[in-house]
């Protein structure tokens, strides 16, 4: 397995809409393995393929992670679609591997149901609530070119993006 480079804002790739995975192949499964390895190494609890430069509708999440391996709940979701959202919302402080060291409160539906293909290409359904629901929605946003900062005020968003751009320029 390999650790993949994670693209950071304001890279224009992160604003692109990902295309469906047409066939689940060994290459797809290798990408999933590498994405999990990258996510755990970062460390993070979710990662969308676009964040590692692959414009496909694929994401990985594990809100428990390696620290509690016996309780880990890793999910790889290919072509995920939300089929239901609850009427009530939840607020979580969100961060993102593509916006390192920046956080903001984001309001999203508290519960969701999602359908997707697993790494074997089998259709799956999952009901999620709490942090898992938030994480899945966050990663699915990436597939549509949406960052968590797009859900907050323009003032806060621009402040975060200016800081990231400044850091990029300093690193060059």
Q: Which residues pair with 78 in a beta bridge?
A: 58, 117
Cis status, amide bond into 24, omega within 30 of 0:
no
Environment class of residue 10 by beta-carbon count within 10 Å: exposed (0-12), middle (13-18) or buried (19+)?
Answer: middle
Q: C-alpha 163: how far from its chain's center?
A: 21
Catalytic residue among 69, 94, 129, 139: 139
Q: Is 139 a catalytic residue?
A: yes
Other CB atoms within 10 A of residue 74 CB:
15
Question: Any idea what DSSP says for residue 43?
Answer: T
Listed as own residue / partner, the contacts of 39-45 with beta carbons closer than 8 Å and 24 or more positions apart are 39/97, 40/65, 40/66, 41/3, 42/6, 42/97, 44/97, 45/131, 45/135
CA distances from 156 to 51, 56, 101, 119 (A): 22, 29, 14, 37
The tokens 């689940």 sit on which residue? Answer: 24
Residues with active-site annotation: 139
């Amino acid at each position: 397995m390999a650790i993949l480079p994670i693209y950071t804002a304001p890279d224009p790739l992160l604003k692109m809409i990902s295309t469906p995975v047409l066939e689940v192949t060994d290459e797809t499964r290798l990408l999933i393995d590498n994405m999990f390895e990258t996510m755990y190494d970062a460390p993070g609890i979710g990662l969308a393929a676009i964040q590692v430069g692959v414009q496909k509708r694929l994401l990985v999440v594990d809100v428990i992670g390696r620290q509690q391996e016996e309780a880990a709940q890793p999910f790889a979701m290919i072509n995920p679609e939300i089929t239901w959202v609850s009427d009530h919302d939840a607020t979580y402080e969100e961060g993102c591997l593509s916006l390192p060291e920046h956080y903001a409160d984001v309001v999203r539906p508290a519960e969701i149901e999602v359908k997707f293909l697993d790494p074997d290409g089998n259709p799956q359904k999952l009901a999620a609530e709490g942090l898992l629901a938030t994480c899945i929605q966050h990663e699915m946003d990436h597939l549509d070119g949406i960052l968590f900062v797009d859900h907050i005020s323009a003032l806060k968003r621009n402040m975060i993006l200016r800081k990231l751009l400044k850091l990029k320029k300093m690193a060059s």
